[in-house]
């Protein structure tokens, strides 16, 4: 299957890319000293995965532009992560540079129109929600309890309870490997269920910097009340003790992945320390020391058994990094 092939390719293709000269150069470019051989399990909500050859936190567009130019010019691979809520890192690790956006990229700024915001891609969903509560802005209540960042949410058009980010997004500002800044309007983002244009080959290497959101005026008390209701629903239906990536599979058209997995008799089924959650069947949880191999093997078994039972091949929401 495609997901397993992607994982195997990531494992077999891993080769260190950073010479001593490259490490020295990165130290010179970065405001915060890079971390070498950083354990990615501490940056993923699944609490599993290998090490990043270099892990850097970038605070400004200028700093990011210089770093991207150097990496591209020296053919060093890179990728960007948010809060790690929807990713799986191979046991072999991530070659090159793994980037997290902080500083300016976590900012929230009001625009001229009363209900419009410019929000950094590194801003957490919870921080955005807290800002909206304080400033009487509604529309983001469904994000309550989603642990990711806004950039990651845009990438996969995150949503819940029949709502998603596409309905709030006015534009997205990006940067490419050459340092060129572009702005894409909502109509150019190709939003659909758990999909945006940033998943397409044409936008590979384009990193999300800032997002323009159009919200609606709503009393803070109402925003808080609805957000708490969404949190209550989540607490009753989703696992919260163990590490997970959130919903692991996309819902097929006209059905629910969790229902199909449960109908196949897989609720509570495990491989190693990875388990199909007994609380919600569309969550794969790390019950202790699960490896990525445990998680990916369990994913494949779920896909195979659901397909044998229903004829539906479930597609993962989780991104397999390489």
For the annotated catalytic residues, the residue numbers are 194, 247, 317
SS3 (DSSP) at 224: helix
Q: Are 316 and 301 in contact (CB under 8 A)?
A: no
Q: Are 121 and 101 in contact (CB under 8 A)?
A: yes
- Spatial distance between the Cα atoms of 263 and 193, rounded to a whole number of angstroms: 23
DSSP string, 137-192: EES-GGGTT--SBHHHHHHTT-EETTEEGGGTEEEEEEE-TT--EEEEEGGGS--B
Under DSSP, the state recorded for 17 is -
Structure tokens at 256: 């629910």
Residue closest to 283 by CA, chosen among 291, 292, 274 = 274
Q: Is 187 exposed, middle or buried (0-12, 13-18, 19+ CB in 10 A)?
A: exposed
Question: Which pairing describes strands 51-58 and 94-101: parallel, antiparallel, or unpaired?
Answer: parallel
């Amino acid at each position: 299957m495609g997901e397993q092939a992607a994982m195997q390719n990531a494992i077999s293709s891993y080769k260190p890319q950073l010479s001593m000269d490259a490490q020295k150069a990165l130290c010179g470019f970065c405001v915060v000293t890079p971390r070498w051989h950083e354990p990615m399990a501490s940056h993923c909500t699944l609490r599993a995965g290998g090490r990043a050859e270099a892990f850097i936190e970038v605070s400004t567009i200028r700093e990011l532009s210089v770093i991207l130019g150097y990496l591209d010019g020296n053919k060093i691979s890179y990728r960007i992560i948010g809060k790690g809520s929807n990713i799986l890192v191979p046991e072999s690790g991530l070659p090159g540079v793994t980037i997290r956006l902080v500083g300016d990229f976590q900012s929230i700024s009001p625009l001229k129109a009363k209900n419009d915001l410019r929000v950094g891609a590194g801003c957490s969903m919870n921080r955005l929600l807290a800002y909206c509560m304080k400033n009487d802005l509604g529309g983001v209540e469904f994000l309550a309890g989603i642990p990711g960042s806004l950039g990651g949410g845009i990438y996969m058009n995150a949503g819940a309870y029949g709502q998603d980010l596409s309905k709030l997004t006015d534009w997205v500002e990006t940067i490419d490997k050459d340092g060129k800044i572009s702005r894409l309007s909502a109509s150019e983002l190709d939003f659909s269920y758990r999909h945006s244009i940033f998943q397409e080959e044409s936008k590979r290497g384009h990193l999300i910097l800032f997002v323009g959101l159009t919200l609606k005026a709503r009393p803070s008390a109402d925003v808080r009340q609805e957000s708490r209701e969404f949190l209550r629903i989540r607490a009753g239906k989703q696992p919260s003790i163990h590490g997970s990536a959130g919903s692991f599979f996309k819902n097929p058209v006209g059905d629910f992945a969790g229902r199909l997995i449960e109908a196949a008799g897989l609720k509570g089924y495990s491989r190693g320390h990875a388990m199909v959650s007994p609380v919600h069947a569309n969550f794969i949880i790390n019950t202790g020391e699960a490896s990525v191999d445990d998680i990916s093997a369990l994913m494949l078994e779920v896909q195979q058994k659901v397909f044998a039972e229903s004829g539906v091949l479930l597609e993962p929401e989780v991104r397999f990094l390489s």
